[in-house]
Chain A
Amino acid sequence: MTINRSQLAIASLAIFAAVGLVGATAGAQELTVVSFGGSYQEAQSKALFQPAAKALGIKLKEETYTGISDAVVKVKAGAVTWDVVASGSGSAARAGAAGYLEKLDYNVIDRSTFVPNTAQDYCVGGDVFSTVMAWNTKTYDDNHPKSWADFWDVKKFPGKRSYRKGVAGALEPALMADGVPAGKVYEVLSAPGGIERAIKKIKELKPHISVWWTSGAQHAQLMKDGEVDMITGWNGRFDVVAKDGGKVAYTFNQALLDYDCYAIPKGAPHKDLAMKFLSEISKPQYQAEFTKYITYGPTNKKAYEIGAIDATYAKKLPSHPDNVKEQLSIDLDWYIKNEEKAAAAYQNMLTE
């Protein structure tokens, strides 16, 4: 015999590997991405998903869901069909900490030029938004509120307020209104009595809060209809309202810098390809394109430098260097550690 055992083994291994490779590439050709639907996903699809899939030469399937809890159910059931999920940074951090997400490989995804605090272990930022203070420009035409202290000042700025029903992003403004400098907010919140101090401050304003909002669509509608005079909310929504002729303006001063991100559920069918996909959509040209659809800023600072975003428009985006300076970045570690406790206290205050 000319073929010995080891040759046979190598040959069969080669065939096995070839079959395996073919199988792997055939399976890897289709990636499933899930997001929140609506105009947001439409923007993602046109600016990020479809162009990136084309660049990578893969087929892309898009689905919609209501939030990361849907992905958690799939992971728990061991039936993960999604490779990439879009999520808010806070929910992703929670799901990641609870072990429902794959750790991202930042050797594949380049975050070296990212805005600080916009990429975490389990989730890479896709766009930056701000929780801002907005006001009705008809109610406060020449003298508008400028800080959280003004939001709390019902004598100087009489009018109906609206505040968030959930605790995320609700305590920080209260502390700033109470005189805590932005840089010290999480220090105070982490110290004993910090959460209580913030909640006491909100309780002070409670009689003037006529609506506790629960969604972006709701706070946009409240301003559009002139139902309240002053509100907290996500900057992009207010820009849409203003564009539609709504009487609303907002400030980045003391706003909370937060971001939407992309994650890979634990056990995703095409994990490696998903990682490459995330690397692709994190590149500046995609992120610059995304800003054309909604006033959420890029997480990759380079997007501002490649000349793809109009200079005056860039100044309106939350992650523009001039705007970042004025804001406080949401501290996800604080939320992972304290959110349930803070939420319980917040709900006690709300239902009182």
Chain B
Amino acid sequence: MSLGDGHAAALRRDRTIERWLMLSLAAPALLLVFVCLIVPVGWLFYLSFFTDGGVATLHNYRNLVEQPSYARIFWTTFKVSALTTAICAVLGYPLAYFMSQLSARAANLCIILVLLPFWTSLLVRTYAWLVLLQRTGLINTWGMQLGLWSEPLALVNNMTGTLIGMVHIMLPFIVLPLYGSMRTIDRTLVQAAANLGASPVQSFVRVFLPLSLPGLTAGALVVFILCLGFYITPEVLGGGRVTMVSSRIATDIDTFLNWGSASALGAVLLLLTLILLWVASRLAKGLSLVGAGH
């Protein structure tokens, strides 16, 4: 018995050592996160609660509540992000599905094409959209020459233009995880469903779609969170009518040298995002439970 006890103790010791080894493997990354994320975010919080003289104040947060423009800016930010995510999902899902049906070689070529936009700077792509979409731009000129419409369409300097630009930039971020998860789905499951009498729609909705949900959720989350911080695209394509939080942060710092107010905006955006993520993860958990019920 004492021998067995010794073994158990040795095993426990091994496990502890291994745990520490694992932790030390993660240490560089943890250090990086601490230095580059935790410390600056902490400093941000500090700035938002204290004046330059180090006096505690709630002024910055009171301002966020008292000026109605702030609530509207947050609403715009979340609305634009949600719409971009939704459009990306609708456009990206069929594309990823199509790619997952191709041979590995053809699919690889498609991935390169999907990644192609990344080779050009975001700024250049945004301005390219401006050139294409404006009143005297290519699309309006051709559309009117072909007699498709007679007055220039308002395609840019508004929400429409902002969404077009953002969807274009964000699409790869949802296509890649979707494609990854679809590629791993066992096709025989879909065949089995058909075999058991399911129509193509039924087998898609009840078999393929639930299995591809993890990829969709991951991609949508990435897109949504990246969208929250967008600055250049709404600035250039929104025509000043789509003000997102980042744009206001830039104004606060550049124009008013007001780091406190900018920090408060950053802190609230972070907090709202975390709350939203928490809610989303609860919903996703609920969904997967429902899925398991099937």
Contact = CB atoms under 8 A, between A and B. Distances in A.
B257 A72 contact: yes
Interface string A221-233: 0000111000000
A199 B248 CA distance: 19
B88 to A, nearest CB: 25
A218 B166 CA distance: 20
Interface of A: 66-69, 72, 91, 94-95, 98, 100, 165-166, 168, 210-214, 225-227, 339-340, 343-344, 347-348, 350-352
A344 B254 contact: no
Contacts of B137: 225
Contacts of B134: 225, 227
A351 B251 contact: no
Given A166-B251, A344-B69, A351 B240 contact: no
List 3 tightest A-B contacts by C-beta distance, closest first. A212-B240, A347-B69, A351-B72
Contacts of B248: 347
B257 A214 contact: no
Given A211-B157, A225-B136, A351-B72, A95 B257 contact: yes
Interface in B241-293: 241, 243, 248, 251, 253-258
Contacts of A72: 257
B76 A351 contact: yes
Nearest to A340: B256
B2 interface: no
A15 to B, nearest CB: 43
Given A210-B239, A212-B239, A351-B243, 8 more contacts: A67-B254, A168-B255, A213-B240, A347-B243, A348-B68, A351-B72, A351-B73, A352-B72
A215 to B, nearest CB: 9
B135 interface: yes
B154, B157, B251, B253 — which one has the most chain A CB atoms within 10 A of its CB? B157
Given A225-B134, A227-B135, A348-B68, A211 B240 contact: yes
Given A166-B255, A210-B154, A344 B67 contact: yes
A98, A225, A347 — which one has the most chain B CB atoms within 10 A of its CB? A347
Chain B binding surface SS class: loop
Contacts of A226: 135-136
Interface in B25-74: 63, 67-69, 72-73
A210 B158 CA distance: 8
Given A66-B254, A69-B254, A347 B136 contact: no
Contacts of B72: 351-352
Nearest to A167: B255
A79 B156 CA distance: 43
Nearest to B131: A225
Contacts of A227: 134-136, 157
Interface string B185-197: 0000000000000
Contacts of B243: 347, 350-351
Contacts of A166: 251, 255
A221 to B, nearest CB: 8
B291 to A, nearest CB: 40
A212 B256 CA distance: 19
Nearest to A71: B257
12 contacts: A69-B253, A72-B257, A95-B257, A213-B240, A226-B136, A227-B134, A340-B256, A340-B258, A344-B67, A348-B69, A351-B69, A351-B76
A212 B67 contact: no
B257 A69 contact: yes
A227 B140 CA distance: 12
